[in-house]
Each structure stands twice: as C-alpha cells, then as structure tokens.
Amino acid sequence: MSGPRVPEAAEEGPTAELLRVRRGGQLSALDRLLLHSPPVAEGWNALLGALRGATTLPADLRELVVLRVAVLNDADFEWVSHEPIARRAGLAEPQLGALRRPEASAEPVWTPVQAAVLAFTDASTRDVAVPDEVFAGVRAHLDDRQVVELAVLVGGYAMVSRFLVALAVPPPEGEVAG
C-alpha cells in the first residue's frame, strides 16, 4: 500500500496551526490524518506534546519506550521517526538492536532502570496488566510522578502505534519533529 487508508485532510485552520507550532512548522502525515477531527487532533497534540517535552523521565527512557512499543506493535512510522531521537538521547547501536528482539529487557546492554522500564513496557503493551514484580522493578528506580508518566507514555505510544498501523500510514523519510 502506498499511502494511508484515509486521505489526508487540508492543512489549514487553527488546529493545523496548533500542530505546526509543536512540530516546528511542518506537519507529518499523522498530523494531516488527525486534522479530519480537530478536537481529537488538539487533544492528541496536547498529550503527545506533554509526553515528548514535559515529563521528568530521562530522554533515554522515553525513547526506549517509544521504540519498544513501535517494535511490539509493528509501527514502522514510530521507529523511523524516533530512532534518530533515541540516538541523540544516548541509546547505542547494541541497545537499538536489542529492542528488536523478543525478550529485549533480558539483553545485557541495559542499565538496571532501562531493563525495568523495558519489562514494564513489554508487560503493559503485550498483556495490559503489569505483574507486581515488574511494577516493583520500576518503583525501585522511579518516583511517583515518573511512574505515572511512564504508564501514560506506554499507553500514549500504544495509541499512536495503533492509529498508524490501522490507517496504514507509511513511514516518514526520517525523524518527525516535536
């Protein structure tokens, strides 16, 4: 399939401008699809803007979650648009490779907090329910706010991946800003 299952909406109006501000002036294919529903696009923009730029989670953990959810949900758009961000956040080639393997958190390339966050991401994405021992693993490293931010980050990017996959949005040429 060459393009998404729904045609892209017009790139004009106040909602398009709101999305442009977060994206540094450029709208992505994802944004142009969301513009079919301005209220949804505005809520999405607020949530994803907060997840990408206003949490207390370190950037490496944020991008680790985004890329792992992309792998688990076969969302190539997410991987392509976030891999450069993940590299800037400090994830190295062995870690990026490990994220593509079934039991990523067991690979010997992670810090203890990264392994705990990956185990949480896997449990939440695959099964929704997070076992007590996996939750305890993240609690050993993250404060209350960060645990909340982690849970919403996993859920938020699960939403993104499901939207992208359901509408068959092709991967971008590279990083998607904002």
Domain regions of the chain by residue span: 14-54, 59-167
Residues 6+ apart with CB under 8 A from 77: 29, 30, 70, 164, 169, 170, 171, 172
Domain 59-167 CATH superfamily: AhpD-like (1.20.1290.10)
What pLDDT, on a 0 to 100 scale, did the predictor assign at position 173? 87
What pLDDT, on a 0 to 100 scale, did the predictor assign at position 71? 98
H/E stretch holding 123 reads: helix 112-127
Cβ 2 vs Cβ 169: under 8 Å: no
What pLDDT, on a 0 to 100 scale, did the predictor assign at position 133? 98
Q: What is the pLDDT of residues 21-54, one digit of tens each?
A: 999 999 999 999 999 999 999 999 999 999 999 9
Judged against a pLDDT cut of 60, whether residue 1 lies above it is answered with no
Long-range (24+ apart) CB contacts under 8 A made by 134-143 are 140/112, 140/116, 141/112, 141/113, 141/116, 141/117, 142/57, 142/113, 143/56
What pLDDT, on a 0 to 100 scale, did the predictor assign at position 3? 87
Residues 6+ apart with CB under 8 A from 106: 115
Q: What is the pLDDT of residues 45-64, one digit of tens each?
A: 999 999 999 999 999 999 99
Cβ 120 vs Cβ 150: under 8 Å: yes
Judged against a pLDDT cut of 60, whether residue 6 lies above it is answered with yes
